[in-house]
Amino acid sequence: MNQTIIDLAYIVASVLFIFGIKRLGKTETARSGNLLSSLGMLIAVIAVFCEEGTMASWHTGAADDSGWIQNGYLWCGLAIAVGAIIGAVWSKVVKMTGMPELVALFNGFGGLSSLLVATAEFFKEGSNHTLSADNAVSEVSLYLAILIGAITFTGSVLAWGKLSGKISGRPVLFKGQQFVNALILLAVVAGFVCYLAAPWILPGTCAWTGLPSQTVIILAAIFVSLLMGVTVVLPIGGGDMPVVISLLNSLSGLAAALAGFVINNNVLVVAGCLVGASGVILTVIMCKAMNRSIGNLLFSGFGAAETSGSKKAGDYVEPKAVSVEDAYLVLEAARSVVFIPGYGMAVAQAQHVVKELAAKLEANGAEVNFAIHPVAGRMPGHMNVLLAEADVPYEQLKTMDEMNPFMPMQDVAIVIGANDVVNPAAANDKSSPIYGMPIIKAEEARTVFVLKRGKGKGFSGIENELFTKENTRMIYGDAKATISALSNEFGKE
């Protein structure tokens, strides 16, 4: 195919990526944005297959001496088919509660893909990795793609384990951890220098392995980078997972962009830069919403220790519980109600019954809104996705900053499985790990109903002062069942 047409296809794909990501910023346009980005990727893949260099480098389908068919198009086609089947099945069977860990795995697979592309390019037959003016960009990009791709892969797998409950969501800290991380980082930097200078300072083969010195350095870099991904994410608590996912998403995009430089593919560079930049922006926004820096996120071990707090053991106050029937009487008289969803709503799959209760409250004359904290749930935008699935009107979804000034005017605030994002300790208790974090000021509503399965702490392991406030009443039990029962009470009229 004419190279001009292929270049034009790459431009079209890049434009579709840009518009697709732009439309992902709003709930009502997110689905079309996803389709535009998918279309752009399809065009990019087809263009790659039509590249003259790609066609020339792949054999025509003859078998080698061992009987293996050499046609690269056949193997790529089979890989695409297998991946499409897995993706289609996975998208059908995954529950909304499993979406955060699925996104974490997507990030990990993206990092692994970049790692494999860069590694394959290093071992490509006839390749020369002696640093020169002609290959400086590709050689630097190759090492960094391996480094970032490996960190993203193991970090994302660990995040998946924490989110899915396969391993504890609590931070794992040990004495001298920062020193160990510093040594690993130093090893990575040293490996980078040695890789670039190996043809001059380490010529020939390694005496221990019999492999070329540069090959040994690359294999060592892969191992150390995979280890670094574990050591970076291990001390981060479950309460910070939404920000971690966003950061890993950014790293997967950066790794993809670097892989694009390695194989000299412009559209991969563009797509990777878009994902990397948008991930960084989202990470900064979420860190701001938690009043924390990225450095504090990565190295503080948030939630590792219990908050000492200003209260002593003898000051414990039992939260006051209320029945569904009594809660209904308050809601029936309410003229303004705000729902504050958290991960508990996702676990209970309660978004549809919440929408039903909201509709009945509106029919009863109440103004209904939803207050969404930027880090509510286990991934960026988790609550928005759930509520959009239930067809909650977009204009009812309010950000924390939009809703807080009106919270004192709300007759009822209904907290559904949220914990840290409504915890007054963030403003009142300097000893709390979340002190300084902006929260939804649910306690300022006239009455607060908190829906929880039991009396346990939230995912981050921090006690919530809201639960013992005078205007707060707990409704224990499954959120979906509780909301359904409240909705049914309106139907008895």
Domain ranges of the chain: 96-305, 313-491
Nearest-angstrom CA–CA distance, 351 and 196: 54
**Diameter of the chain measured on Cα atoms:** 87
pTM: 0.77
Nearest-angstrom CA–CA distance, 401 and 469: 22
pLDDT of residue 313: 45
> Could you report the per-residue pLDDT of 365-406, keeping only the tens digit for each?
999 999 998 888 777 778 888 888 888 888 888 988 899 999
For residue 304, what pLDDT band results from cuts at 50, 70 and 90? very low
CA distance readout (Å), 182 to 154, 179, 186: 18, 5, 6
Count the neighbouring beta carbons within 10 Å of the beta carbon of residue 253.
Answer: 26
- The domain made up of 313-491 has a fold known as Rossmann fold (3.40.50)
Strand 447-452 to 336-341 pairing: unpaired
Higher pLDDT, 128 or 359: 359
CB distance 16 to 39 below 8 Å? yes
> Could you report the per-residue pLDDT of 315-357, keeping only the tens digit for each?
556 788 899 999 999 999 999 999 999 888 888 888 999 999 9
Q: Name the token pair of 446.
A: 């006239």
Please write down the HEC assignment for all residues of 179-218. HHHHHHHHHHHHHHHHHHHHHHHCCCECCCCCCEHHHHHH
Nearest-angstrom CA–CA distance, 240 and 243: 6
336 forms bridges with which residues in the sheet?
367
pLDDT of residue 460: 55
Nearest-angstrom CA–CA distance, 479 and 473: 14
> Could you report the per-residue pLDDT of 207-260, keeping only the tens digit for each?
666 677 888 889 999 999 999 999 888 887 766 777 888 889 999 999 999 999
CB distance 375 to 437 below 8 Å? no
How does 382-416 read in b/e, with b if 16+ C-beta sit within 10 Å?
bbbbbbbeeebeeebbbebeebbebbeebbbbbbb
Active site residues: 420
Q: Is 485 left (phi over 0), alpha (psi -120 to 50) or beta?
A: alpha
Instruction: Examine the pLDDT at 310 and tell me if it is beyond 50.
Output: no
Higher pLDDT, 427 or 220: 220
DSSP code per residue over 20-74:
HHHHTTSHHHHHHHHHHHHHHHHHHHHHHHH-HHHHHHS--S-B-TTS-B--HHH
Q: Name the token pair of 20.
A: 């697709």
CA distance readout (Å), 370 to 79, 148, 342, 403: 43, 38, 11, 8
Q: Which of 371, 459, 455 is nearest to 97 (CA)?
A: 459
Instruction: Examine the pLDDT at 431 and tell me if it is beyond 70.
Output: yes
Instruction: Examine the pLDDT at 145 and tell me if it is beyond 70.
Output: yes
Coarse DSSP helix, strand, coil percentages of the chain, rounded to the nearest 5 percent: 65, 5, 30
Q: Name the token pair of 195.
A: 């890789």
